[in-house]
Amino acid sequence: DAGITQSPRHKVTETGTPVTLRCHQTENHRYMYWYRQDPGHGLRLIHYSYGVKDTDKGEVSDGYSVSRSKTEDFLLTLESATSSQTSVYFCAISVLLAGPNEQFFGPGTRLTVL
């Protein structure tokens, strides 16, 4: 158990509203990631962070922003939610400092945009 929690676990919102998802870890790991999961697409990387205030884009970053002001928290924001952002969102962390290594995933947040 890598001590990862996500909140909320479920959310229903309307098109055009802002939404923030939170990922919290208890073990001060440096690398954190946000993925979305949709049928047939597997997991797609949205943004990642390699330290406090150090973030970068993944392959599907349009419409999303992130912030990391503390090591333990990585926030994903949808500034103006659209129906195409209905998905399951997973946060993950890496234990090692760099290079390919295993990622531990949080329990996920199911977001529905009406």
Q: Which stretch binds other proteins (CB under 8 A): 16-24, 36-44, 67-75, 76-84?
A: 36-44
User: Considering the complex, what minimum distance in angstroms separates the CB of residue 59 from other proteins?
Assistant: 7
- If binding is defined by CB under 8 A, does position 98 make contact with other proteins? yes
| Rg of the chain in Å (alpha carbons) | 13
Secondary structure class of 106 (helix, strand, coil)? coil
CA distances from 85 to 67, 72, 82, 104 (A): 19, 25, 5, 23
- If binding is defined by CB under 8 A, does position 42 make contact with other proteins? yes
CB of 36 or CB of 78, closer to other proteins: 36
